[in-house]
Amino acid sequence: MSGSNRFCYRNTVLPTWRQTWTRIQVKVWSSKVFKVDTVEGEEELQELDRFSFWGWFQSLLREKHNETVINVSLFSKKTCFKVDPIGNAQYTVKPIRKFDIYLFLLFLAGALLFFFSDSLSRSQAFFYSAGMSTGMIASLIILFFILARFLPKKSPFYVLIVGGWSFSVYAIQLVFRNLSIILREHWHVALGYVAIVGFISFAVCYRYGPLVDEKSINILSWTLQLFGLLLVYLGIQIQQVAFALIVAALFTKNLGYPVYLLVAAWRKIKQYIYWKPQPRRLLTEEEYQKEAEEETRRALEELRKYCNSPEFSPWKTVSRIQSPKRFADFVEGSPHLMPNEVSVHAQEYGFGGSFFEDELFDTDDEDDDDIVPVMKPE
């Protein structure tokens, strides 16, 4: 085609969940530069021929190029545009419907950012990389804002940059739009800018250090979650699907707390519903001896306290015992057993003692008594 022409793309496909990452585009390319004006309907397309200050303002900001892509909304039934080439240059218009990998990657990045926000907010590597990236973008905005302030106020272009921040945002868009050309033709300038601004941003981040306050970490984590949900929304063409996935992500992220409470409550209730006595574990010989010694020591201490209390009658007790001196020594803290008594007890009741042997032989005798000889009849 050649010359200035108007086009309208009619979307006849009803968008469903299958078009979640589908992109509809109209590609226009030519050997020479041209301008493209996009509107929503045919009526707006006719108004492009009429003069208006806002249209003239937009035409000044609109760039001329030899290849462009017009994005068509899935929910738009008709999208119209006007191609205005220089002279009678030939150009080609082609509609494209395809799976957009960039939309899917945007959605995937948002999902990962949302679910890993807690670990990222505590990561030093993420802190420094995010700080350096923010510093490089913010420095561009500040630089263009300062340059806009130095432009003469009587210049006719001052109307185009009424606000410095508006000019900064527009300049940032131009930079990212022509990023490939800048990196190819002015790579040394881009490399120097990244090195200088990146080093300054890293120094500022290193000066203040990573976040250590728990409240600051929580604020960063919530910010990353909100930004991740925004990327999820922007990475999906169907709004209903986007909202459903956002709700599912929020529910999944906070699902651990109610599930933990339900499991804890079920364990408490289960103890009363399916209650049964726990089997008791028998003591080992070492545990039995240790517990016996501990209980004996505690009982002897209680007996000494009772003997020293006002309720105790010493004369009545002394008249009934055979060795008052030994009893008095016991009350003062002496052992309740003599050394010879301990040795006799060990010989009689210890392993290999007489008591053990009597019990062993008595058991054998009882077993022998149960055996009755059978006499054969003659």
Do residues 242 and 232 make contact, with C-beta atoms less than 8 angstroms apart?
Answer: yes
Instruction: Please count the other Cβ atoms lying within 10 Å of the Cβ belonging to residue 44.
Output: 12
- Nearest-CA neighbor of 30 among 70, 9, 1, 55? 1
Phi-psi region of 156 (alpha: psi -120 to 50; beta: other; left: phi over 0): alpha
Query: What does the mean pLDDT of the chain come to?
Result: 77
- 359 by Cβ neighbours in 10 Å (0-12 / 13-18 / 19+) ranks as exposed
pLDDT one-digit tens code per residue, 48-70: 666 555 555 555 555 667 778 88
77's enclosing H/E stretch is none
Reduced DSSP (H G I as helix, E B as strand, rest coil) percent helix, strand, coil of the chain, to 5: 60, 15, 25
SS3 76: coil
Determine the pLDDT at residue 149. 67
Q: DSSP string covering 197-244, please?
A: HHHHHHHHHHHH-S--SHHHHHHHHHHHHHHHHHHHHHT-S-HHHHHH
How far is Cα 166 from Cα 163, in angstroms, rounded to an integer?
Answer: 5
User: CA-CA distance, 359 to 352, in Å (whole number)?
Assistant: 11
Q: Is residue 191 within 8 Å of residue 129, measured between CB atoms? A: no
pLDDT at 254: 75
Q: Is the pLDDT of residue 259 over 80?
A: no
pTM assigned to the model: 0.55
82 forms beta bridges with 6, 37
Q: Which residues pair with 78 in a beta bridge?
A: 10
Q: Could you identify the residue written with the tokens 């004369």?
A: 315
Phi, psi for residue 82 in degrees, rounded to 5: -125, 130
Q: Given the structure tokens 């807690």, which residue do they identify?
A: 118
Of 140-149, 180-189, 222-231, least confident by mean pLDDT is 140-149
pLDDT at 261: 74
Integer Cα distance of 33 and 305 in angstroms = 109
| C-alpha–C-alpha distance, residues 369 and 94, integer Å | 112
Cα–Cα dist 12/1, whole Å: 25
What is the per-residue pLDDT across 223-236, written as a single tens digit (0 to 9) for each? 999 999 999 999 99
- Would you state the structure tokens that stand for residue 282, as one six-digit string? 């028998």
Give the integer Cα–Cα distance in Å for 80 and 85: 17
pLDDT score of 77: 80
Select from 254, 214, 224, 216 the least CA-distant residue to 120: 224
Spatial distance between the Cα atoms of 265 and 247, rounded to a whole number of angstroms: 26
Q: What is the pLDDT of residue 46?
A: 66
Q: Where are the domains of the chain?
A: 5-99, 106-256, 285-357
Question: What is the spatial distance between Cα 73 and Cα 191, in angstroms, rounded to a whole number?
Answer: 37
Residue percentage of the chain with pLDDT more than 90: 10
More confident position, 285 or 3: 285
Q: 154 versus 342: which is more confidently predicted?
A: 342
Q: Is residue 319 very low, low, confident or very high in pLDDT (cuts 50, 70, 90)?
A: confident
Structure tokens at 273: 């519903």
193-214 residue pLDDT tens: 889 988 999 999 888 888 888 8
Distance of alpha carbon 219 from the chain centroid:
13
Number of alpha carbons in the 13 Å side-chain half-sphere of residue 229 = 15
Report residue 166's pLDDT band, with 50, 70 and 90 as the boundaries.
Answer: low
Instruction: Report phi then psi at 7, rounded to 5.
Output: -135, 150
Q: What would the mean pLDDT of 223-252 be, rounded to a whole number?
A: 90
